Amino acid sequence: MLQQCGVRYLGFPLRLTVHREDLTESEAAMIIKSLVPPVSGVLITYLDEANEIAAFCHALGARIVQLHGEIDRDELKRLKTLDPTLTVIKSLVVGMYDDKTLEAMVSKLSPSVNAFITDTFDPKTGALGATGKTHDWSVSRRLVELSDRPVILAGGLTPENVKRAILEVRPAGVDSHTGVEDSTGRKSREKVQKFLSEAYEAFQLVKSM
């Protein structure tokens, strides 16, 4: 359904510290390996050791990994050495770190990653993403301006707010999880289609500015 709607990247959160996985690792591997380009599977994980991350990506058939844990810069460098063609996205969790720390992370980690993704910290659960909560978009806008890598915006994005978020932040892309789910926790075709429509319209507006 997501592919039919035009979603380009499908996220698979696995080996998490807070949230419960939506499916098994073998199920995720089966889906990822069945995806037809330009659609790609993205491993989303809190793993923080290069060897384990590289091995897990290989087992799943994932060529993009989104790292949400506190991973050391040396481990990121090692990951790039182990798998030079792996696309690495590192989270910048707004609310967990102050603005100056986030800015320093961008400068420090840029040489070892392909992109960043800003997300929202939930102090009640300790979750570093998939919280359904927005954050101060001016922080993300500042990180977009500072970064020489693409910055994706996540955190509480819905069909109702994604257009405004894109116009305010000017990210390279947007990410939604709970914001396009129905009351059962499954992805809603109607919400996904509306989200994509609003996002594409906003990106076209940004291009024309």
Q: What is the DSSP letter of 127?
A: B
Q: Provide the token pair at 141.
A: 């806008």
Please answer whether residues 194 and 159 qualify as being in contact, where contact means their C-beta atoms are separated by less than 8 angstroms: yes
pLDDT at 129: 63
Please answer whether residues 119 and 93 qualify as being in contact, where contact means their C-beta atoms are separated by less than 8 angstroms: yes
Q: Provide the token pair at 75.
A: 């481990």
| Of the candidates 87, 159, 81, 149, the residue with the CA atom closest to the CA atom of residue 118 | 149
* 42-58 per-position pLDDT tens digit: 999 999 999 999 999 99
* 57-106 per-position pLDDT tens digit: 999 999 999 998 889 999 999 999 999 999 999 999 998 888 999 999 99
Please name each of the domains of the chain with its CATH number. 2-208 (3.20.20.70)
Would you say residue 155 has pLDDT above 80?
yes
Question: For residue 38, is the peptide bond before it cis, meaning its omega torsion is within 30 degrees of 0?
Answer: yes
* 182-192 per-position pLDDT tens digit: 999 899 999 99
